[in-house]
Amino acid sequence: MKLTAEISMYPFKENYIEPIQWFIDRVDSYKSVERKTNAMATQICGEYSEVMAMLAVEMQAAHEKWGKAVFVVKFIGGELDLTHTQ
């Protein structure tokens, strides 16, 4: 089963761009997960178990490296077209 998720990271740092970019770069290392980022959030799509496992690993890694950060995630079962614009 496919899963689409939208995730936003809010690091408790003045220089918040660096940890966000670091997280996005880490997500990009998962070739089986499609990623699209805009000014507000990052959308990811892939196999349900792979997306959930990736989020668990990378959110933990982000907390270990950068300290406190809030992650806000929305999930929808199924595959959405991440290239869709209106």
pLDDT confidence of residue 85: 76
Hey, where are the domains in the chain? Answer: 13-77
What are 8's two structure tokens? 């936003």
pLDDT confidence of residue 18: 97
Of 60, 62, 28, which is closest to residue 42 (Cα–Cα)? 28
pLDDT confidence of residue 80: 86
- Identify whether the C-beta of residue 47 lies closer than 8 Å to the C-beta of residue 32: yes
State how far the Cα of 56 lies from the Cα of 62, in Å rounded to an integer.
10
What pTM does this model have? 0.90
Pairing of strands 34-37, 2-11: unpaired
Partnered with residue 72 across adjacent β-strands are 8
pLDDT by 10s per residue, the chain, length 86: 999 999 999 999 999 999 999 999 999 999 999 999 998 999 999 999 999 999 999 999 999 999 999 999 999 999 988 887 77
